[in-house]
Amino acid sequence: DIIFIARPVAASTKYAELKESVESLLSRAQLLVGDYEGIRLRTN
């Protein structure tokens, strides 16, 4: 599970900027699935 806490300044930020920031954060945390990676449920 991931929880995002939006600060008040986020209310006036454009969607594209928020999306880019979230993608960057998830990428740095290695939580994004790449173009050539798949998601396999019920595997270890």
Secondary structure letter of residue 37 according to DSSP: -
In a domain, 34, yes or no: no
Indicate whether 2 belongs to any domain: yes
Residue 24's domain comprises 1-29
Q: What pLDDT shows up at residue 14?
A: 96
Report how many domains make up the chain.
1
Could you tell me if residue 38 is inside a domain? no
- Residue 40 — pLDDT band, cuts 50, 70, 90? low
Kindly report whether the global pTM for this prediction surpasses the value 0.85: no
CA–CA gap between residue 20 and residue 4 (Å, rounded)? 14
| Any domain includes 43 | no
How does pLDDT run across 12-21, given as a tens digit for each residue? Answer: 999 999 999 9
Q: How far is CA 13 from CA 2, 4, 34, in A?
A: 21, 15, 27
Q: Is residue 39 part of a domain?
A: no
Q: Compute the CA torsion angle 14, 19, 24, 25 (nearest 10 deg).
A: 100
In a domain, 8, yes or no: yes
Report whether pLDDT(44) > 90: no
